[in-house]
Amino acid sequence: MTYEFNPGWPDSFLDTIRIEGKDKVKFDGFVDGVKDGEEIPAYMFGVQSIWHMKIMSAEKDRIANCTVNNPGQFGNTVTIHIYAIGEDGTIGQLSGYEETKIEFNGEGN
């Protein structure tokens, strides 16, 4: 099953609301000027969060990459690697936040 999602260019930090009784989350950070937010399937939470993080990090001279481990409905993880771009153009891991691991199940929690 394919879901189409065109969030537009993010201009704020990600804000999500879990819609009670549904396997969906509402992304208030992805505003296209017409709606207040966009409802997407909850399992896509990790994917959209990573996309938003990469865009926001680029605005702050950061490079973000991630390793996704998706064995099935449960035990899914995303490890985020954050790098800083120095004034001399060198790239190194960001001190204190070199790696962040996010765990979520098949519903996006």
| pLDDT value of position 102 | 62
pLDDT of residue 40: 55
pTM score, whole prediction:
0.40
- Total structural domains in the chain? 1
Decide if 35 is inside a domain. Answer: yes
User: Within a domain: residue 109?
Assistant: no
Tell me the average confidence (pLDDT) per consecutive run of 10 residues in the chain, 109 residues long: 45 46 49 51 59 64 69 64 78 65 53
Rg (alpha carbons) of the chain, rounded to whole number: 15
Residue 4 CA: distances (Å) to CA of 40, 51, 71, 72: 9, 15, 24, 22
Give alpha helix (H) positions in the chain. Answer: 45-58
60: tokens are: 């702050």
Residue 5: predicted pLDDT: 45
Residue 24 lies in a domain: yes
Q: Which two tokens stand for residue 7?
A: 């969030």
| 53 domain-assigned | yes
Domain with 37 in it: 16-104
pLDDT at 62: 72
